Amino acid sequence: MKILIIHGPNLNMLGTREPQLYGTKTLDELNQECKQYGSTLGLHVETFQSNSEGDIIDAIQKKGKTVDGLIINAGAYTHTSIAIRDALATLSFPKIEVHLSNIYAREPFRHHSFLSAVCTGHISGFGSKSYLLALQYFSIRDNR
């Protein structure tokens, strides 16, 4: 099973950006952790990051044709992008929305996600473990 992980804006700054909220792990370290853990679960993990809304939509449309599942942390676009929501809605396979921090324990404008309604599930507040929990879903979903 092939899983695409999409990281949105500012996630390239992990490790230095607000470490009290997002931790000290870099994006490269997070991607490596996800690929290694995915491999132990029998999953092939591909990663993509962009600060550009259009590039994220392009990745969903193009790479979405070659994978079996998607994990997305759209960063701030979670709360603003109907366009990313609409791109996700075109995919017929499972999609998991993840966030490192608990968006519901933060500023009120972060409490609404445009993406949740078109995703299979939502995991937030567990730091990098949010991604690993999403990968676990893909490893067990066929064994229900």
Task: Return the active site residues.
Answer: 22, 99
Cα 29 from Cα 2, distance rounded (Å): 20
Sequential DSSP letters for 29-63: HHHHHHHHHHHHTT-EEEEEE-S-HHHHHHHHHHH
- Is-contact 95 72, C-beta < 8 A? yes
Cα 121 from Cα 135, distance rounded (Å): 12
Cα 90 to chain centroid distance, Å, stands at 17
Which amino acid is located at 93 in the chain?
Answer: F
Look up residue 72 and give its DSSP letter. E
